[in-house]
Amino acid sequence: MKRTWEVVRSVFLWGLSWLHFLITVPVLIGLAAFLDPRKHDWLQRGLCRRIAFFSGAKVKVETSPGFDAQRTCFFMVNHVNLLDPFILYCAIPQLVRGWELESHFRIPIYGWLMKCFGNVPVADVRGPKELKRLWRLTREAIHSGVSLIIFPEASRTRDGHLGDFEQGGFRLAQQLGVPIVPVSLVGSFHHFRTGDWILRPTTITVHLHETIETAGLKKEDLPALQQRIRREIAGPVEAWLKAQ
């Protein structure tokens, strides 16, 4: 009986979400064709808040006293499901875009929209040419005052726990002197799990940890930085998993 109710509820929530998405996205596409996306950032945030709401998620934000909302930075986040970017856009109090696989930019309509909004393409296969382009586009975004969301696991969790981190984002942070904010998504694994389509209404807590400086760090400092940020992100996530 419980499973039947979850299926019926999920069908309704997905239907509501897609209807809203199909109505709102053409408006954003039209605006992006003529205006700088920064001019209608409030509309994009409204879209994300409604996507969260229609999917059954209540978004709560916990901010560390050491978080500096005025600093352009890298937000490094645990990756749970396809809704993560929308949830994060509800919670992060500044203009933010993200690293996104280049293959996503080839998806009809969606890819064009992501390009207009200024997401940074990350090549699926990264040779010297692709890494140089990633470095350049990342630097341009940061210098223009746009913070970037990076999922250092580079893939979505299958069991709720954090996977291994890739080093690319940390290397660029060190080279460009960009501060890093660890972010923990807690509750997303209950809400919507990769490999399953069931939506379970719940509260998702976004923990914005303290801003960590990278200016002056050397290449040999990166392993310790990576471990520190992984511990920060994993703390609330693991505590939630143990409580379930």
- pLDDT tens readout for residues 158-174: 999 999 999 999 999 99
Maximum pairwise Cα distance, the chain: 59
Residue 150 confidence (pLDDT): 97
What does the chain come to in residues? Answer: 244
Q: What percent of the chain has pLDDT over 90?
A: 68
Quick one: average pLDDT of 98-117? 80
Q: Which helix (H) or strand (E) holds 60?
A: strand 57-63
Residue 22 pLDDT exceeds 90: no
Least confident of 56-60, 101-105, 161-165: 101-105
pLDDT band at 26 (very low <50, low <70, confident <90, very high): confident
Average pLDDT over residues 2-21: 89
Average pLDDT of every residue of the chain: 91
- Between strands 120-122 and 57-63, the pairing is unpaired
**Hey, what amino acid is at 43?**
L
DSSP state of 177: T
Residue 178 has phi, psi (to 5 degrees) of -90, 125
Please state the pTM of the whole predicted model: 0.93
d(CA 172, CA 159): 29
